[in-house]
Amino acid sequence: MYQVPSRIQPEIEMINGDFKGKDIVSLDQFSVEDLTVLFNHTRQMKRIAENNEPSRLLEGLLVGLLFFEPSSRTFGSFAAAVKRLGGQTIEMQNPEVFSSVSKGETFEDTIQVMEAYTNAIVLRHRFSGAAKQAALAANFVPVINAGDGNNEHPTQTLLDMYTLYERFGRLDNLTGLLAGDALNSRTIHSLLRGLSLYENNTMYVLSPRQLQLSRDDYVSLQDRGIRLIEIHREQDIPKNCDFWYWTRVQKERFASAEEYQKAQSEIVVASPELLKTYAKKDMILMDPLPRVESVDPAVDADERAVYLRSQIRNGVYTRMALLALVLGRL
């Protein structure tokens, strides 16, 4: 009888130039060379999507979208990425209510059931470390981390870095301002990891003191070679940043509404006035979204605001390229 080949691995593997069959759990798996490969294919995927070209690259393949947390952009862009390339999806949102998880099925069993039906699993979960746990539980198909708690969101960072690369033609010698909930924002954590791969990057991190990076994260990132400067007041924003990266306060990470409201009241909002005072003419403003009292909608008309323009669209293109590489079709 035919046996499905097992891919059990003791730990998560580095990409090392070969994406096929690899779990995508952390930015730490990537090298500069791996990112270059991905971005080169992303340009090809952008052409396919923008020209509405029919593609059969993922024809015959099924991708499971298993989302334990709410999502609009990540869920929608992964679904679009699969279907743009001729594949199909099995979609499960809120499985704690709408699956056998509600009957007491373990997380590991849920993963192994989903892998029996699919060629890859895209997972979002509210617990830090869940993506790695899922990758170790899955014996036969790769797992892609679509955000695990306040840990990492690697595919968001891939699209963010591609947005920067597309705009500036480089990912080194950049000065950036990352603002909002540095403590809990997995997108900030992953972006700092990604940019630490490149030389001479300086990142200012603007947040209330209670939402600054954890000391472990701060020391770990500094040790990677990226220059971090923590600031806590609008007046300390430098005027030479190549990009701003604004994030919301992570309400779902707070124990009480009172704690959340206190933190929210101390956040600096990206407004037209803020841009006029501190932003360069040729910088870009990014936001992983959703924005919740973080970016003034009046900023949307500013051409430097790319979150609803190139940034959100790059999410589809980079995920198309990643899926095709991981599934061995490129």
List of long-range contacts for 252-260, beta carbons under 8 Å, 24+ apart: 252/126, 253/150, 253/181, 253/184
3-class secondary-structure state, position 126: coil
186 catalytic residue (yes or no): no
Q: Cis (ω within 30 of 0) for the bond into 290?
A: yes
Contact of 170 with 35, CB cutoff 8 Å: no
CA-to-CA separations, 14 to 21, 23, 77, in angstroms, rounded: 12, 9, 25
Query: Beta 175-179 vs 143-148: how paired, if at all?
Result: unpaired
> Which secondary structure element, helix H or strand E, spans residue 116, and what is its range?
helix 107-117
- Per annotation, catalytic residue among 7, 73, 232, 262: 73
Terminal Cα distance for the chain, rounded: 30
Q: Distance between CA atoms of 204 and 299, rounded to whole angstroms?
A: 21
Phi, psi of 325 (to 5 degrees): -70, -50
Residue 232 is among the residues annotated as catalytic for this protein: no
Question: What contacts 232, CB < 8 A, 6 or more positions away?
Answer: 206, 207, 208, 209, 212
The amino acid sitting at 86 is G
Active-site pick, 41, 153, 193, 313:
153
Does residue 74 carry a catalytic annotation? Answer: yes
103 is catalytic: yes
Catalytic residue, chosen from 42, 74, 89, 163, is 74
CB atoms within 10 A of CB 262: 14
Answer whether 145's CB lies under 8 Å from 131's CB: yes
The catalytic residue among 22, 41, 46, 124 is 124
Catalytic residue selected from 103, 209, 239, 276: 103
DSSP state of 256: S
Does an H or E element contain 241, and which?
none
Provide the b/e sequence for 125-140 (b: ≥16 CB within 10 Å): beeeebbbbbbbbbee
- Catalytic, 42? Answer no
Order across the sheet with 175-179: list the strands.
227-231, 202-206, 175-179, 243-246, 284-286
Catalytic residues: 73-74, 103, 124, 153
